[in-house]
């Protein structure tokens, strides 16, 4: 039996649901604490769109049945989160080139006969950086070699980054990712450990992105892998961790006079891209941001 829990109470007090209301949502395990519903529902309300965004708790092993059920019920689109981002590719009719390269999907769009898969994680990271600078031709160092690093590195190269370096505690894992990147992209792509070589590469780097959980709640006091003495004033530092809002890495960046990008930015922009895929409309960034900050407990 599929264990799907729909948190409808939130939306019912905010909106009248009718037979014409279009349904989108998120599937994952866990999913109860997702911050996507308040962001999307705030945008639907602001734009006066008859849509509702609902979280669905789908356990491992039940994804195929859940996707079939979503299609049968006429759901328009879904976000897919842990642990289903890779498995979901088995149930799609179409998948974008970027999502194919990344090997993971976080957004589905349902048409009458087709389920299409996208990955908006990398798009979110790129758009967050492009608030400050173009990534075209830039030297970018990514700390970590997991799923987030993979999505972001492929998207950066797809969008014209000049040089990408993957830095990871386990260098073998970093080099495995760079080998896959080299198969698909030309340009300067390399791997390194978290050692003195990283210090050297940071001297002329344009952007540093942390994709590891170092400093994430409840381990806020964890020492960041890069400290202020390793940074320079022209560096842009992006930590995709969004809880806490200001991580140890971002505090170190501020000490060095570097520009900082909090993890909330990637979360906002990847959600906005999903919204655009489903509706054809790009929602106002300030609406997503206000809803997210409220959800995180920060006053607007």
Q: Give catalytic status of residue 265 as yes or no.
A: no
The token duo for 265 is 């930015």
Taking the C-alpha atoms of residue 105 and residue 179, their distance in angstroms, rounded to an integer, is 21
E runs forming strands in 17-147: 22-28, 51-57, 77-80, 94-95, 107-110, 115-118, 139-143
For residue 274, what are the contacts with CB-CB under 8 A and spacing of at least 6? Answer: 40, 77, 79, 106, 107, 118, 120
The token duo for 78 is 């879904």
- Among 220, 274, 271, 275, residue whose Cα is nearest residue 242: 220
Helix axes 147-158, 171-184, angle to 10 degrees: 30
Candidate list 85, 109, 127, 265, residue with the active-site label:
85
Return the active site residues. Answer: 85
């Amino acid at each position: 039996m599929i264990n799907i829990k729909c948190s409808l109470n939130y939306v019912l007090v905010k909106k009248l649901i009718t037979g014409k209301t279009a349904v989108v949502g998120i599937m994952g395990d866990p999913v109860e604490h997702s911050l996507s519903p308040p962001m999307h529902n705030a945008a639907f309300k602001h734009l006066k769109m008859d849509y509702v965004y609902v979280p669905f708790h789908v356990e491992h092993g039940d994804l195929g049945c859940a996707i079939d059920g979503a299609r049968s019920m006429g759901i328009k689109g879904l976000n897919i989160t842990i642990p289903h981002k890779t498995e979901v590719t088995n149930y799609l009719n179409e998948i974008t080139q970027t999502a194919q390269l990344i090997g993971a999907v976080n957004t589905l769009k349902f048409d009458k006969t087709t389920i299409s898969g996208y990955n908006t994680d990398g798009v979110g990271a790129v758009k967050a950086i492009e608030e400050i600078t173009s990534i075209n031709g830039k030297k970018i160092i990514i700390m970590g070699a997991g799923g987030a690093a993979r999505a972001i590195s492929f998207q950066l190269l797809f969008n014209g980054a000049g040089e990408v370096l993957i830095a990871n505690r386990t260098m073998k894992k970093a080099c495995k990712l760079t080998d896959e990147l080299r198969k698909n992209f030309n340009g300067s792509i390399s791997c390194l450990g978290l050692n003195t070589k990283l210090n050297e590469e940071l001297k002329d780097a344009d952007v540093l992105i942390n994709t590891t959980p170092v400093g994430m709640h409840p381990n806020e006091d964890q020492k960041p892998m890069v400290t202020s003495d390793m940074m320079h004033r022209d560096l842009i530092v992006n930590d995709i961790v969004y809880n806490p809002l200001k991580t140890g890495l971002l505090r170190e960046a501020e000490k060095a006079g570097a520009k900082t990008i909090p993890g909330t930015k990637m979360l906002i922009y990847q959600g906005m891209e999903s919204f655009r895929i489903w509706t054809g409309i790009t929602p106002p960034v300030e609406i997503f941001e206000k809803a997210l900050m409220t959800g995180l407990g920060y006053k607007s």
